[in-house]
Each structure stands twice: as C-alpha cells, then as structure tokens.
Amino acid sequence: MWFFSEEEKQIVEVARSFAQNELAPYAEKHDHDESFNLEAFKKMGELGLLGITAELEYGGAGMGATAATIVMEEFGKACAGSTLSYLAHSMLCVNNINSNASNEQKAKYLPKLISGEHIGAMAMSEPGNGSDAVGMKCKADLKNDHYIINGNKMWITNAQYADIVYLYSRTGDKRNDLTTFIVETKNTEGYSVSKEIHKMGMRSSPTGELCFENAKVPLENRVGNEGDSVYHMMKNLEIERLTISGISLGIAQACVDQCIKYANEREQFGKNLGSFQMIQKMIAEMAAETEMMRNFLYNVCYQWDQGKVSNTHAAMVKLQLPKMATKIALDAIQLHGGYGYSREFPLERMMRDNKLNEIGAGTNEIMILIIAKNLLSQ
C-alpha cells in the first residue's frame, strides 16, 4: 500500500520470505495430519514477529494494526491454520497483556511469549456461550490471596500447547461482572485441556476445550480490577477483527495467484485456458475483488493506528472480507474443475480454512447486528 512505512515494507519482505520457506512447504501435511507447525512457530519468535504490537522494552516491535495485518496476509497466503495460531498468540494473548496488564505482569510474561519460549492463548467462548460472550458462566471466587475458578472454555486456539492463557471469567452476578486472569497452565492445579476439537478447516491450528475445576490462580495474576474485562474484550476485538481479515485477504490473493498460474498452463480444446473469455472474466473479477479487500482493510488499519476507528469500521471489515474470500475460493475451485475439488491443489483447503473467518472473532450475523445498531442509533 502507498502509505506503508519503510519498516512496514520490511515486514512485508520478512513475512513473505518466512511464509514461503517455513509455512507453505508444510501446509498440506499439517492440514492432513491435524498437526501444529511448532518449529516454524518458534522461528517466528527469533524474527521478532510474535510481539509485533508489544512494547519495545519487553522485546516487542512496538508497531500497530497495519504491521500485524501485513503478517497475517503474508502468512495467510501460505498456511491459514498456522496463521490462526499466530493470531491467537500475538493478538489475543500478547496484545491483550501488553494493553491491559500491569508493568510487573508485562515484565514477567511478555518476554518469553515474544521470544517463542512460551505459547499463548485466550479463553473467552464457552460450550454454551459463543456469540453471547458476556453471558459466560465460568466463575472465579476470591479466597484470601487467590481465586478459585470453575468452568469450561470452548474453541480455544493453541489450547494443547499453551503455556499462558489469558482468561475471562465471571466474578459477580451482574452481566458485566467479568474479570481477566493470566493463567500459567503448567503451574495451575485443577486446569486441564479436557477435549481436542477436530475441525473442517484450520486443521493445522490446534483447538481444544479448557476445564477449570477448582483451579487456584493467585490474586497477583488478576489483570486490572474486578469488572474491567468487558472494556478490554471489546477493544481487543477490534484489532482481532482487522487482523483475522488479513488472513482472508491472504487466502483470496493465493487463490488469484493459483488461478492465473493454472489458466496459463492448462490446455482445453487446443488452447490455453486463459484464452477463454469466461475464464478471463472469472480471474478479472477475483483480482478486482481482492484489490478492493486490500484497500478497504489497510485503510481501516491505518485509521486504527491513528486512533480513528470505531467498532463499526472493524465490524464492516470483518463482515465483508471473509465473505468475499469464501466466494473467491469457491470461484477458484470452479475454475479448476475436478482439480480444484481434489486435494491435489490447495484451493479446497483454502476454502475450508477461510470459512472459520466468517465465524471466529464474531460471526457474520453479529457483525451485521453491530453495524446496524450503530448506524441506526445516530
């Protein structure tokens, strides 16, 4: 984009090179095996990409939504599943701690998360509370110098590998009585990953259910005051919705690139596929839609970095980009015919992966409700 800083342009090159060398060659294997590319994840820490929005003094890059989204796009082209795990670590755990935790908590937890020594996760959704996250049932009760936490968290990315979980829990009877805790998974008795979840897409991103059964968490691991969490949740959801849309942009661009390559190589009726007007129309429309996605997304990211974005803008991005990327992926499958439907080409994986982006970080339907409510209340 024309407004990328020199540092952001460097991030493009670093992320693109890493994705091509460390993610793309293994994407199909990890999707097939439902396995986690842990080796690549550790290397992201060596490159300084795991704390892209975190403060410099803790080892972060001190950058914003634009830089974070650049990484999501470049990684998303190569392996969306690995990118989702990257997002859960860097945006849902690291960015939340960086934005909301005390200086002591940041100094304790961020360096190892940013280096890749520790893997992070965030726990919000529950088996009975997805879109209605504020209605969560997980409960934390204060007992002297610690909290006793009981409840389950569902659809947790990185669950099986997480060393640190940024947990939202109820601490009172009112709807907004929600409080945040930093949970050290290896040192918390009563904590467990109770179920591994097998998914249609994003299969290289581990997902599980967390169980808290009289789990004892020190008072010093509470983030802020009791009842602070709703504001923290809603603020971080804005940047989550922008960055997850970057994964959809990466998927869309990868589909376009694959279609151009295929149309130039594939022959039918004695001609290159690209010489047929119907194919030209499909590719031209996919490319134009992808460029529209890119301009919309990065324009809103730029505004977010300037402090000028409302949750309406974030919801609009999150509504439109994943939907458009699914359409582009389906069009790309159609253009490839039987090969597109097979696992011989990556398009069916890209379509399966992107469908999650229409659900996670707020479903399409919730985005519509947010947008309509804000517009009609003006």
Q: What is the CATH number of the domain that holds 255?
A: 1.20.140.10
Rounded CA-CA distance 209/126 in Å is 8
Give mean pLDDT, residues 1-26.
96
In this structure, is residue 197 part of a structural domain?
A: yes
- At 1 the pLDDT is 79
Strands 222-223 vs 178-184: parallel, antiparallel or unpaired:
antiparallel
* 234 and 311 inside one domain: yes
Give the C-alpha separation, 114 to 111, whole Å. Answer: 5
Instruction: Examine the domain organization and report whether 268 and 356 are in the same domain.
Output: yes
Evaluate whether residue 170 is within a structural domain: yes
More confident residue, 310 or 246: 246
CATH of the domain at 134: 2.40.110.10
- What is the per-residue pLDDT across 127-175, written as a single tens digit (0 to 9) for each? 999 999 999 999 999 999 999 999 999 999 999 999 999 999 999 999 9
Domain end point (choices 119, 153, 184): 119
Q: What is the mean pLDDT of residues 236-254?
A: 97
Q: What percent of the chain is predicted at pLDDT more than 90?
A: 97
64: number of Cβ within 10 Å: 18
Distance CA 181, CA 106 (A): 13
43 burial (CB, 10 Å; 0-12 / 13-18 / 19+) is: middle
**Residue 169: inside a domain:** yes
Query: Is residue 234 domain-shared with residue 169, that is, in the same domain?
Result: no
Q: What's the length of the chain?
A: 378
The model's pTM:
0.97
Evaluate if residue 239 carries a pLDDT over 90: yes
Asked if residue 378 has pLDDT above 80, the reply is no
**Do 112 and 89 meet the contact criterion of CB atoms below 8 Å apart?**
no
Predicted confidence (pLDDT) per residue in 329-359, tens digit? 999 999 999 999 999 999 999 999 999 999 9
pLDDT at 78: 98
90 belongs to a structural domain: yes
Residue 128 sits in the same domain as residue 154: yes
Domain assignment of residue 280, given as a range:
230-376
Specify if 1 maps to a domain. Answer: no
Residue 365 lies in a domain: yes
Residues classed as catalytic: 240
CATH classification of the domain holding 84: 1.10.540.10
What's the pLDDT band for 235 if we cut at 50, 70, 90?
confident
104 and 75 in a single domain? The answer is yes
State the Cα–Cα distance between residues 86 and 50, nearest whole angstrom.
7
Count Cβ atoms within 10 A of the Cβ of residue 341 and give its class: 0-12 exposed, 13-18 middle, 19 or more buried. middle
Q: Assess whether 290 and 208 both reside in one domain.
A: no
Q: Are residues 151 and 243 in the same domain?
A: no
Report yes or no: 238 and 69 within 8 Å, Cβ to Cβ: no
- Is 58 among the domain residues? yes
* 151: Cα separation from own chain's centroid: 24
The pLDDT value recorded for residue 360 is 96
Structural domain includes residue 163: yes
- In terms of DSSP bridges, do strands 191-196 and 207-218 run parallel, antiparallel, or are they unpaired? antiparallel
| Domain count along the chain | 3
**C-alpha distance from residue 157 to each of 95, 162, 222 (Å):** 15, 9, 21
In whole numbers, what is the pLDDT of the chain averaged over residues? 97
According to the model, what pLDDT value does residue 221 have?
98
Give me the pLDDT at residue 309, please.
82
Residues 44 and 165 in one domain: no
Distance CA 208, CA 200 (A): 14
Give the per-residue pLDDT at 219. 98
- 288-298 average pLDDT score: 98
Average pLDDT over residues 350-378: 96
Of 100, 119, 138, the residue at which a domain comes to its end is 119
164-183 per-residue burial string, b: 16 or more CB within 10 A, e: under 16: bbbbbbbbeeeeebbbbbbb
Domain boundary among 195, 228, 261: 228
